[in-house]
Amino acid sequence: MTPSRLFVLIPCAGSGSRAGGPGPKQYQRLAGRPMVRHTLEAFRALASRFAGIALVVSPQDREVAAALPRFPAEGEHLLQVGGATRAATVRNGLVALKQAAGAGPHDWVLVHDAARCLVTPTQIEALIAACEHDAVGGLLAHRLPDTLKVASPEGRVAGTLTRADKWLAQTPQMFRIGMLLDALERAGDAVTDEASAIEGLGLAPLLVPGSAQNFKLTYPEDFALAEALLQSRRGAST
Ligand SMILES: Nc1ccn([C@@H]2O[C@H](COP(=O)(O)OP(=O)(O)OP(=O)(O)O)[C@@H](O)[C@H]2O)c(=O)n1
Ligand SMILES: C[C@](O)(CO)[C@H](O)COP(=O)(O)O
């Protein structure tokens, strides 16, 4: 049997409504570059590991060309098939990836949010090493660092949950393309990550420890923290 290949799919078609900026947050500049460029560079640093790196943008996207002037390079794909939800974007992207890059059902895909621009090659390598011989696949995730409260409708504490078994789901999330496409087609648009769709098949994805720094830029206050971390990493590498 042909050995499985690894592909990367980066959903980049959101509007960034919670970030409250003038345009989609993935194109906002951070440490001198559009956010999505930082994200892409983390995967480009491991380019020899991947059979293809694909970015899924909205068909109405007018910003990606300026944000990524040298994209797509060899082995890279721009897929203009983003949907109304993240799940639809990933689903459409996988179908397009099969056509554009000849990805097969047994190949692996690492799905990673454009909005998690602080992911590092070391974290990506850790996920691949943990999952590539696993029957299901898995995701980077972070143990809950704080006490976890349940809220009442009035905004009061209705209880405190044990946190020992709670993790925050991050990306990348790594699954076989055929299994993931099947799972997403069954799950519909309500699932917010790939692992949820796989769970819907009755399977248990592997939790691979990530890092608090691999956070998703979601709210306005996340940008200053990301900027500071990116600048400090740049300082550390010079
Ligand atoms: N229809 C969508 C919605 C989201 N995403 C992508 O999924 C990732 C994580 O989603 P999220 O942080 O929720 O981004 P937005 O949907 O843009 O944010 P918001 O919900 O605040 O509008 C981002 O890289 C975003 O671009 C996507 O490709 N297609
Ligand atoms: C995929 C994800 O980043 C895992 O935490 C997250 O679910 C996406 O967030 P969204 O706000 O539901 O799009």
Give the N- to C-terminal CA distance of the chain in Å, as an integer.
45
Mean pLDDT of the region 132-151: 97
Q: Which ligand is nearest to the CA of 141?
A: 2
194 touches ligand 2 (CB under 6 Å):
no
Total count of domains within the chain: 1
CA nearest ligand 2 atom 1, residue: 193
Residue ranges around ligand 1 (CB below 6 Å): 11-19, 26, 56, 82-86, 89, 113-115, 216, 218
Domain carrying residue 145: 6-236
Residue 139: pLDDT over 90: yes
CA distances from 233 to 41, 53, 206, 212 (A): 14, 24, 29, 15
Burial 21-36 (b: 16+ CB within 10 A, else e): eeebbbbbebbeebbb
Closest CA to 97 of 5, 196, 15: 5
192, 211, 219: residue to mutate for ligand 2 pocket, most atoms within 8 A of CB? 192
Q: Which ligand is nearest to the CA of 18?
A: 1
Q: Report pLDDT digits (tens) over 44-63.
A: 999 999 999 999 999 999 99
The answer as to whether 227 is a domain residue is yes
pLDDT of residue 235: 79
The answer as to whether 181 is a domain residue is yes
Whole-number average pLDDT of the chain: 97
113 touches ligand 2 (CB under 6 Å):
yes
Contact 10, 37 (CB under 8 A): no
pLDDT of residue 36: 98
pLDDT of residue 238: 59
As a dihedral over the C-alpha atoms of residue 95, residue 23, residue 171, residue 175, rounded to 10 degrees, the angle is 0
Residue 167 sits in a domain of what CATH number? 3.90.550.10
Contact 217, 226 (CB under 8 A): yes
Residue 124: pLDDT over 80: yes
- The band of 3, judged by pLDDT with boundaries at 50, 70 and 90, is confident
To 5 degrees, how large is the angle CA 124–CA 128–CA 134? 150
The answer as to whether 13 is a domain residue is yes
pTM of the model as a whole:
0.97
The answer as to whether 139 is a domain residue is yes
pLDDT of residue 1: 63
Give the percent of the chain with pLDDT over 70: 98
Residue 85 alpha carbon, nearest atom of ligand 2:
13
Name the helix (H) or strand (E) containing 171: strand 167-176
The answer as to whether 1 is a domain residue is no
Q: How far is the CA of 222 from the centre of ligand 1 (A)?
A: 15
The answer as to whether 184 is a domain residue is yes
Q: Report pLDDT digits (tens) over 199-238.
A: 999 999 999 999 999 999 999 999 999 999 999 998 786 5
Q: How far is the CA of 3 from the centre of ligand 1 (A)?
A: 32
Residue 15 alpha carbon, nearest atom of ligand 1:
17
Mean pLDDT of the region 16-20: 96
Q: Which two tokens stand for residue 86?
A: 């993240």
